[in-house]
Structure 1
């Protein structure tokens, strides 16, 4: 197993070491007062790893510590991996961003759009244009999640067994057919709504490539990037390395979430490109270094520089942010000043969100409070791992950005 090692003294890449220490001091308090069980952080600048730290326990019940080989459920940090896979196929001519999804998943032809009514008796109208690949990449397809609890269509997803996962025994192809049979929230391209779109995109990757999603990831992404610990399930021999999953206890401290937490311990029937991966700090750091490196790492090129530059621009109409164009639901990003590209959130107005950041920063996070971001202005990458549901519990992400930014002094 590979463990991250610091490659540069903080001062060599423009960090004040005393200010950098504030990051650890701040998040240690999260563990000491019982808000988090433990965490890991990796921070690189100019392509050199300058800070790695671990604190707390990966399992409160056994007392095992967080360390460099801890395995973390990354949930929606799977989405950028799936998006990169689709972009790789785009570069090979295997698909076009404007292709109708029905070219790869026939059930996505002749979709209906919710107009009024209840989950039991919805009134629908025909979609005026097809859902296209770029709609999936930008979450503008009109799909949703059952766990939003914000709309009758969300309720319809839950009634079919889709809340945080698919019904047991259902594979990805069948799940896509089930979603296609439900109404869209809105006409394709009309709004932004966080959704199963990236799971559907994962199925497109399978059909366009002729490989299952796990096979494509392993051969074309994880292998080239030396991400040997990332996959859709934890094998039995590595279960002691898996961090436990927790939710806040209303009376204080944490409650172990075994119902969701144990899902990753067995091979899934549905390969979720939207939220199915487990990874390590080392592996996801490698992925962010590829992104920061313009699509390549150590001579292994996954994407062309122009493709990545295009994908990390705001693709929402009129350069709108999520606050103006998105549905008011929970997602793995703030909304004010944040646009959305082809698989990543993108900062379009660094002043609007009142968080210390840079224009063009691209990022995403996961349901269990994990997050990463790439700041091309400051040439830095940050990965934060922990296991607390839901990610909206504490303002970890804006605090992390402020603490990292204040440590850059060159």
Structure 2
């Protein structure tokens, strides 16, 4: 039987329904995720999309507001509440940091406001914690290891040790990666949790080094990943025969670390700027319009903004129920995702890509850092709707 939403729509119209479309970019503007995930580049992507749309919808100007959630769920929730109750924000996007993403998605849904998570990774957003108005757009902790862990295990890396970011994202990513490793006949010999924004990974790396693991899985992201990789090289871990597996790596991380350090590293992403002509054209315009890093989360924000604005236009209102229905009924077919669909659980299902960092001699430009090794079809990358665990979805 086809999947259907198991909870009825509220009797009263949701959202602001005032014809004035205000887009809120709530992200990490100064911390560990401010470079490739969020920050100024995220705001630039949303502003560029609004401008490309024509600067107005339903006959009124599109407004973009932004704020720094400081990677704190309470700060993010307070900002989101003020935006909704006082400022008339219609949709809240970015939400990098899974603890933030979960908190704001729940709060906004209670108030009938759409959220579009492009930076959060936890699959819980469309699993047990799914909501009527929550959308997860770009990648999740189920899709990431399907590419990276599968490639590593099949190449002989069967004994794993995890260094895991100690909050919702890290735990979800380790759990999902473990499942892939064990399903393919591998094993996990140990793990250790590291606080967000860790500067010194020495004790965690020494535990991993002495574990006997072939592969050290980094279930973290942003500066935590780059710090761990740099220090692993200082300890001679890779030279000693162990392999690092970055489970959420962005192109900005590769550039920060340098190809001398990352050459040959495999990682999974929802988009790559050099995939085709449409992606290259968008990247050139984005960088010319204040964009900072042509990463998957920044491209996803542009795509999600356009999808939202097209849905408002199609619905003829900014009322949330009508807009959410329009987003679900229209395929996402653009430079970011071809043939993508937003499912009833809120997940954008689309193809993912396994990338491999180039050798330094192979790079021909600033962002020419990787090659696409394999395309992973969306229906294989993501958990099925029936498997998602979303309580709102009934078979």
Q: TM-score with structure 2 length normalisation? A: 0.28
